[in-house]
Amino acid sequence: MSGVWAVARYTLSQCLRMKLAAVFLAALAVTLLVLPLALEGDGTLAGRIRSVLTYSTATVSVLLSFMTVLLTVGIVAGDMQARTVFLLAVKPLPRWKYIVGRWAGVVLLDAALLAISGGAIYAVAQHLREEEALNHTDRVAVETEVFVARSAMRPRLRKDASEPIAPGTSRRWTVSGVRASPVSVEGRARLQARLTEHHAFVRGVSANLRPLLENARRRDAIAEAWITGDERGRGIRARVEAEGRRLVVVYRAGNEQLAEALRPGQSVTVVLVEHRHGGPQTRGEGAVVARESHLRAAFEALDDVADHIAVGEYVGIRGVDGRVEHFRDNRFTVRFLPRDAHRPQVADLTAGEDVPVTVRPSLQLRYELSGRGTSGGVFGQWTAGSARSPYPPLRIRRRFPAGTIDTLAIPERLVGPGGDLFVEFTNGSGVNVTVDEDTLSVLYRAGGFTGNFLRGFGLMLAQMMFLAALGVFAGSFLSFPVGCLFCAAMLPFAMMRSFIADAVKLPRHGETDPVVWIGHGAFRLMQILVPDFARTSPSDALAAGRIIPWREVIELVGLTGGLQCVLAITFACLIFRKRELARVQV
């Protein structure tokens, strides 16, 4: 492969000397410098960062696409026009190595420019992240909706989805399979005593349970317990917490089956499963401002943990969860559950002391409401929760925006052990309201922003690899103007392939018009040969905080930068191999 590498190095140096490349490099530099200063978004910091991510990545993609096509077509076709390709006849270099080397040289230039552009965009985004937000809600949106990689779960579709929700009525949707990262282990334990109607303490934990118990205590994690209390293997599902050196089983009051299973001194089998539905937790420090009641206390955040706290979500104070009821100027009020009021972590809170604060990850409910005469918004109530979660459902009653997509934060504690969650909307207005089920989804954290950003630029590199192969193919048998026109005709099809596929109808059964069948066959062939650039563009995913999964990256890189790219290079090699470079004249 020394011949390919030699041609690739020569191509790279040749591209850097060309005026065409200099023009695109200057345009790229101006784009990266001017766009972040010119874009304001919707007036919020989150909106500005979204605008920078969207337009910067899209502009870089367009500029590099045109530069790649013009360089590859110009270099290969220019060698034929300038007669420099005649040197192949006197050098021991196979023609396929010339084609592959020209392609590799342009791809190396694209990879370098993508790395520089991506680094600049990432640095600008991180710089904007440190700027002052419009308000606390804007700051939380920056951290939980932009600098994150979220996956979406859609609810089960209802038969009455197209029917509006009448005033005073409700409609419920169920979401199942919210992905978690479970860690499970089974062991024997002995019940020490049944102390209250909500708690039971376990002692004599077997050796294989201790690591998970220590991990739960260290990470302040909530686990699930499946307790088998008799020889018939009846199981009781409950929640498990670490308290000191003991394991606390927390269950619902009034569960007679559980009360019968948890007799003091009884030997049981405990299966601990740690569920993490919303991603990593955020830890920080806080100070107790005041103790307002036995269930409510006010705190002040002492570090950046305040950027992640939102009203309605759960935070851990000394390892005990409570829901945030109010937040302003880094001060927040937490209400604990009645069953936790007697616990020393809550009962011993005193004003002035510092306490560890853990912000639980949250999910986002994405929805869109509409209705006649609802330009000023829709008054109603969203309810979210799970019948199997020990935490009470979240209820948000206010006026919601209509005609636009909005999101609501849902504490991940509300997700049931099996990943189930229900959302319900109650129409409190005087008109019929429709919930767009195509938009309705639950977003949960599935990765980080940096990894998602790198995967997105990996997709852009695969797109450039195909365009370089397309340019080499066109330059192998066409002149520079015709080759550029050919590639320019392919670009709109690649960018709008999904739209065209939806618009083009399949021939009806019994269709006899040959033009219809030929056109349909040609379109299907183009779908195989030309990639869908709408899928390889990361702009929308990065701006919306939507994850680009590895499965999709491998699929698109293997198809666009692999199969379709190899096909274009193969056709170019075959054409160039049979092409007559010069004629002998006597």
- Residue 559 has a pLDDT of 83
Q: Rounded to the nearest 5 degrees, what angle is found at the Cα of 554, between the Cα atoms of 551 and 556?
A: 105
Q: pLDDT tens for residues 315-373?
A: 889 878 888 988 888 899 999 988 788 888 888 898 999 999 988 778 889 999 998 88
Q: pLDDT tens for residues 272-291?
A: 444 444 556 788 899 999 99
* 8 A C-beta contact, residue 374 and residue 431: yes
Q: Does residue 66 belong to any structural domain of this protein?
A: yes
Q: Does residue 510 belong to any structural domain of this protein?
A: no
DSSP codes joined into one string, 440-461: -EEEEEEE-HHHHHHHHHHHHH
Is residue 66 located within the same domain as residue 123? yes
Edge-to-edge order in the sheet of strand 170-175: 170-175, 421-427, 378-385, 394-400
Q: Does residue 487 belong to any structural domain of this protein?
A: no
Reported in sequence order, the residue ranges of 466-584 that DSSP labels E, i.e. its strands, are none
Is residue 294 located within the same domain as residue 408? no
Q: How many CB atoms lie within 10 A of CB 446?
A: 17
Give the integer Cα–Cα distance in Å for 402 and 370: 5
Domain count, the chain: 4
Last residue of a domain, one of 404, 427, 447: 447
At 555, is the pLDDT very low, low, confident or very high (cuts 50, 70, 90)? confident
CB within 8 Å of 34: residues ≥ 6 apart: none
Q: Determine whether 424 is exposed, middle or buried from the number of CB atoms within 10 Å of its CB (0-12, 13-18, 19+).
A: middle
Q: Determine whether 296 is exposed, middle or buried from the number of CB atoms within 10 Å of its CB (0-12, 13-18, 19+).
A: middle
Among 147-151, 196-200, 466-470, the range with the most confident prediction by mean pLDDT is 466-470
Pairing outcome for strands 394-400 and 378-385 = antiparallel
Inform me whether the pLDDT recorded for 170 exceeds 70: yes
Q: pLDDT tens for residues 96-120?
A: 888 999 999 999 999 999 999 999 9
- Residue 135 has a pLDDT of 85
The more confident residue out of 497 and 21 is 21
* 8 A C-beta contact, residue 414 and residue 349: no
Give the integer Cα–Cα distance in Å for 364 and 284: 23
Q: What's the mean per-residue pLDDT of the chain?
A: 79
Distances (CA, A) of 412 to 124, 153, 164, 236, 337: 31, 14, 29, 22, 16
Q: pLDDT tens for residues 211-235?
A: 555 554 444 444 444 444 444 334 4
Q: Rounded to the nearest 5 degrees, what angle is found at the Cα of 323, between the Cα atoms of 318 and 326?
A: 110
CB-based contacts of 279-283 (< 8 A; 24+ apart in sequence):
279/148, 279/361, 279/444, 279/445, 279/446, 280/361, 280/445, 281/219, 281/220, 281/316, 281/358, 281/359, 281/360, 281/361, 282/308, 282/358, 282/359, 283/356, 283/357, 283/358, 283/359
Q: Does residue 129 belong to any structural domain of this protein?
A: yes
Last residue of a domain, one of 428, 447, 466: 447
Q: Determine whether 583 is exposed, middle or buried from the number of CB atoms within 10 Å of its CB (0-12, 13-18, 19+).
A: exposed
- Residue 8 has a pLDDT of 92
Q: Does residue 489 belong to any structural domain of this protein?
A: no
Is residue 8 located within the same domain as residue 111? yes
Pairing outcome for strands 235-243 and 246-250 = antiparallel
Q: Any idea what DSSP says for residue 508?
A: P
At 181, is the pLDDT very low, low, confident or very high (cuts 50, 70, 90)? very low
CB within 8 Å of 227: residues ≥ 6 apart: 235, 236, 238, 249, 261, 262, 268, 269, 270, 271
Is residue 13 located within the same domain as residue 126? yes
Q: pLDDT tens for residues 39-89?
A: 888 889 999 999 999 999 999 999 999 999 999 999 998 888 877 777 665
Amino acid at 246: R
Is residue 98 located within the same domain as residue 215? no
Torsion angle (degrees, nearest 10) of CA 551, 556, 562, 565: 180
Last residue of a domain, one of 290, 325, 359: 359
Q: Determine whether 229 is exposed, middle or buried from the number of CB atoms within 10 Å of its CB (0-12, 13-18, 19+).
A: buried
Inform me whether the pLDDT recorded for 542 exceeds 70: yes
Q: pLDDT tens for residues 399-425?
A: 998 888 888 888 877 887 667 889 999
Tokens 């979500």, residue located: 313
Inform me whether the pLDDT recorded for 585 exceeds 70: no
Q: Does residue 297 belong to any structural domain of this protein?
A: yes
Is residue 200 located within the same domain as residue 250? yes
Give the integer Cα–Cα distance in Å for 44 and 50: 10
Task: List the domain range (segments joined by +) for residue 343.
Answer: 282-359
Q: How many CB atoms lie within 10 A of CB 306?
A: 21
Inform me whether the pLDDT recorded for 179 exceeds 70: no
Q: Does residue 568 belong to any structural domain of this protein?
A: yes
Q: Does residue 413 belong to any structural domain of this protein?
A: yes
What is the number of H-type helices and E-type strands within the chain? 16, 21
Is residue 206 located within the same domain as residue 156? no
Domain harbouring 372, CATH code: 2.60.120.260
φ and ψ at residue 133, rounded to 5 degrees: -80, 165
Is residue 76 located within the same domain as residue 166? no
Is residue 10 located within the same domain as residue 124? yes
- Residue 309 has a pLDDT of 85
The more confident residue out of 172 and 499 is 172
Inform me whether the pLDDT recorded for 261 exceeds 60: no
Give the integer Cα–Cα distance in Å for 377 and 325: 24
Is residue 219 located within the same domain as residue 122? no
Give the integer Cα–Cα distance in Å for 216 and 275: 11
Is residue 221 located within the same domain as residue 247? yes
Q: How many CB atoms lie within 10 A of CB 480?
A: 18
Give the integer Cα–Cα distance in Å for 78 and 59: 27
By percentage, how much of the chain surpasses pLDDT 90? 30
Amino acid at 499: F
At 248, is the pLDDT very low, low, confident or very high (cuts 50, 70, 90)? low
Domain harbouring 289, CATH code: 2.40.30.20
Q: Determine whether 254 is exposed, middle or buried from the number of CB atoms within 10 Å of its CB (0-12, 13-18, 19+).
A: exposed
At 141, is the pLDDT very low, low, confident or very high (cuts 50, 70, 90)? confident
Distances (CA, A) of 582 to 85, 86, 88, 96: 10, 7, 11, 18
Is residue 35 located within the same domain as residue 66? yes
